[in-house]
Structure 1
């Protein structure tokens, strides 16, 4: 007999157990969704309604009644964009655009940054204003940027507004990317809604590879390394030797990459199975030979958004070199602040802004002198660039991850003054599985760059449907055997 109370508790929002792509609930949810979606796949209206309703429910399971914010945002920007497009007077169009920006940024600011600025006011004035301790709505940073890009593109006449509200709500609430991105632009997504649903072997193979690789990166590599090593290091760096701290930083670099890129891969793979193509969000970023190249490969949807809607409107590189460096610094500072209401994130963004400015100086010098490296020198400086870029990024990750500046500097102090390389063998014996997975993770990171991903996608595309189902079932069973009992919330879930 069905336990109605238990069933209801499973279906209702539980703040202690939000729905995740790697949760057992999601597998049942996704199976039911696919059944319903395929049942109406011949009707554009049916696909939109089924997908939207399932997406809103998915978001409800992740953050409760904050799902109303997504609906409210869709209503506001759907109407504002239409008014902007139809307005004849430039002043009215500007006013409506500014109003849209204020509404979107205002909601984001209220939930994400109010307590941060209350803290600043209290420190400066010795005041006693009570923080509001607001619960941050999951995904608000992502769908806010999607709303902004939509209304700005409409204002620029680069994209006509949609006529059907459900199409826009579908775009904004699309559950694969709703909570953690990628940040998808309406101009790339909305035209796909009206296209007939066709699923070929390439879609099945690519989607399967992305989902399996994403789950593997998230559960097998990221979660295991974090829960069994990295979290111990960052909880109190002063208790660990410099060698442990350094390996912890390397571990976190892999953890945040596998965590976020794994989620992005799953989102893109699920979208592919449902007939939508979302651009990749990562392109083996740790193979970058410069910090400029890194930001072309890391969180591509965010870095391109910041470039097109912040850096270029600020003037980009069109107003002289000094202004260009200032624009870079401001863009990265704001990008850091976007990640969270903390001085650590602002400092992290500032470091990357300074590095990007210095890299522009290097690039300008190479162009001015006509310096071109060939032969052995070309490969030597490429490898050197990869090593320098990777270690700079790792240095910045310390401030991104550490709970305070004190902890960040404590970790750096241990690496600089208490390294103790002699303990490496004891450390290896204590964390053999962790270090083996770290090595595997970095090796796979470079293998996929050399064409491994394309080979795997083509291989899976040749597998018949029954074989694909069998592979997925076996893989999920294996994941259940190896996954940790303590679920790890995705890192970018908090942003």
Structure 2
């Protein structure tokens, strides 16, 4: 009983993580009550809302207040938008919703980023102050909160995008507002996907709230299979190789050969896929066990045959959100607006600031001038630039969504350029329409290499850290000792090989495995769960590895 009490009370050093036994004790307790009330829609929704708020409180403490604030604001604004018939007022209301949500997000996530960039550009020395903490301390006449540091609330990027989608979908006429703020709170805070997605659209999830969600045999089979897959991906294909090899290399790239740094990047592609895909598999599986359907977030992304295909398969809920709520409103592939060019110019200036390098300044300036001159004399080139500027801008902003640093913008920009270059290449490529298997595998390999090695800007802790990585790869490959490295870390590389092999299995093979699991009797399913649990926890470290996307 003491352990159950500890699980349900807040403790900063023990958040509820899917890979810890405490979470599964928590879920079993929650599920036992859920099983008795799931047919009573109103009671079920209130119950899951309270449990979700408790889950978030366990993860983020007092930041649950920010979640409640966002919920109240967008519920109220959504109702006002629906009641209004005047277009200008509706537009003003939805704009207010977007501004409030993005202001809260920017305050917590980008305060240091904007302050540091401003200080560098204008040679000032402004310091970040936590105004909310200062106001709270002044109001309470107590020093409860630290004023010189802003802590990022877990999952704020995910639930902010969800609340924005609610207001925008009502404005667009795709959705009617929920009658109860409790139901809306349930939509915003549903605990399986609350802190790391997938990002749930209001138009997809809200209709499920008002219906009895029976747990069918299909739900149970798919839900449990996804949970087991997610645990393997996270605890073995992500955490194990990170602890045993990747973190050692990335912590001190200059202490390892270029070969080790290259292998660490290849391993990191598996780690981040196993980590994030593993989380969303578990989240979707948990939701299915309660009768709710969450959107698919990954579709074998390393089978992508080009950069555009990759972003249709990776973090699908974010990619489609950015397309529908940013890319298309900016003009899509029809034209670049004035706003597009202004925002892109600001971002390019920021990239120059990030590198702090004269050569980078000259390079970017030259590219911009060449593009400008060509667009003045070649109409087809000008049209091409206009139709792709919003795509590049969306990828740049998508990069910034992932982290408050210019290195994330660079990472997003590289991926955007990869898509733009591919769109040019496919027009002249003699292999684009070839159907032989080796052409597809060649495309997959090239795409995988591109995606993997642009991720150094995602994984690197700073620009200097990234430069040290590049220096080792460029000057110290040390290939004569490559075999010795492979032998020394043989278990790590075997796990990496198995992870990629599992990922690249044909879809028909994966479907047969699923059907085999579905048709297995209950006692075999229990045996599979025990085996997976034992294998996962044999690789477990006492220092739990938080999911990478918790920081976003």
Task: Report the TM-score range of the alignment, normalised by the length of the smaller protein.
Answer: over 0.9
Counterpart for residue 515 of structure 2 = 458
1:187 aligns with 2:203: yes
Counterpart for residue 166 of structure 1 = 182
Counterpart for residue 439 of structure 2 = 381
Distance (Å, rounded) in 2 between the aligned partners of 1:54 and 1:88: 37
Is contact 2:240-2:539 (8 Å) kept? Answer: no
1:33 aligns with 2:30: yes
Which of 477, 480, 485 does residue 537 from structure 2 map onto? 480
Distance (Å, rounded) in 2 between the aligned partners of 1:258 and 1:405: 25
Deviation at 1:424, TM superposition (A): 1.9
Deviation at 1:417, TM superposition (A): 2.1
1:65 aligns with 2:125: no
Would the alpha carbon gap of residues 430 and 125 (structure 1) be closer, same or farther in structure 2, given more than 3 Å must change?
A: same
Would the alpha carbon gap of residues 29 and 9 (structure 1) be closer, same or farther in structure 2, given more than 3 Å must change?
A: closer
Once the two structures are overlaid, the 10-residue window that deviates more, 195-204 or 437-446, is 195-204
**Matched ranges for 1:201-280 at <5 A:** 201-280=217-296
- After TM superposition, the score normalised by the length of structure 1 is 0.94
Deviation at 1:128, TM superposition (A): 2.4
Is contact 2:41-2:212 (8 Å) kept? Answer: yes
Which of 82, 85, 89 does residue 88 from structure 1 map onto? 85
Would the alpha carbon gap of residues 273 and 9 (structure 1) be closer, same or farther in structure 2, given more than 3 Å must change?
A: closer
Q: SS at the partner of 1:181?
A: coil
Counterpart for residue 491 of structure 2 = 433
Distance (Å, rounded) in 1 between the aligned partners of 2:200 and 2:184: 12
Counterpart for residue 402 of structure 1 = 460
How big is each residue's C-alpha offset from its partner over 1:163-194, in whole Å with a ceiling of 9 and x where there is no partner?
A: 12111111110011100000010111111122
Counterpart for residue 315 of structure 1 = 331
Distance (Å, rounded) in 2 between the aligned partners of 1:278 and 1:454: 20
1:359 aligns with 2:422: yes
Is contact 2:4-2:25 (8 Å) kept? Answer: no
How big is each residue's C-alpha offset from its partner over 1:1-37, in whole Å with a ceiling of 9 and x where there is no partner?
A: x66xx77654332223321111121011000011011
Deviation at 1:321, TM superposition (A): 2.5
Is contact 1:111-1:136 (8 Å) kept? Answer: yes
Is contact 1:205-1:459 (8 Å) kept? Answer: no
Would the alpha carbon gap of residues 310 and 384 (structure 1) be closer, same or farther in structure 2, given more than 3 Å must change?
A: same
Distance (Å, rounded) in 1 between the aligned partners of 2:519 and 2:444: 36
Would the alpha carbon gap of residues 92 and 373 (structure 1) be closer, same or farther in structure 2, given more than 3 Å must change?
A: closer
Which of 486, 490, 494 does residue 547 from structure 2 map onto? 490
Would the alpha carbon gap of residues 464 and 46 (structure 1) be closer, same or farther in structure 2, given more than 3 Å must change?
A: farther
Would the alpha carbon gap of residues 403 and 222 (structure 1) be closer, same or farther in structure 2, given more than 3 Å must change?
A: same
Distance (Å, rounded) in 1 between the aligned partners of 2:320 and 2:428: 25
Is contact 1:329-1:350 (8 Å) kept? Answer: yes
Distance (Å, rounded) in 1 between the aligned partners of 2:126 and 2:305: 47
1:288 aligns with 2:304: yes
Deviation at 1:466, TM superposition (A): 5.3
Is contact 2:7-2:26 (8 Å) kept? Answer: no
Q: SS at the partner of 2:504?
A: helix
Is contact 2:192-2:286 (8 Å) kept? Answer: yes
The alignment of Structure 1 onto Structure 2 pairs a total of residues equal to 486
Distance (Å, rounded) in 2 between the aligned partners of 1:8 and 1:162: 34
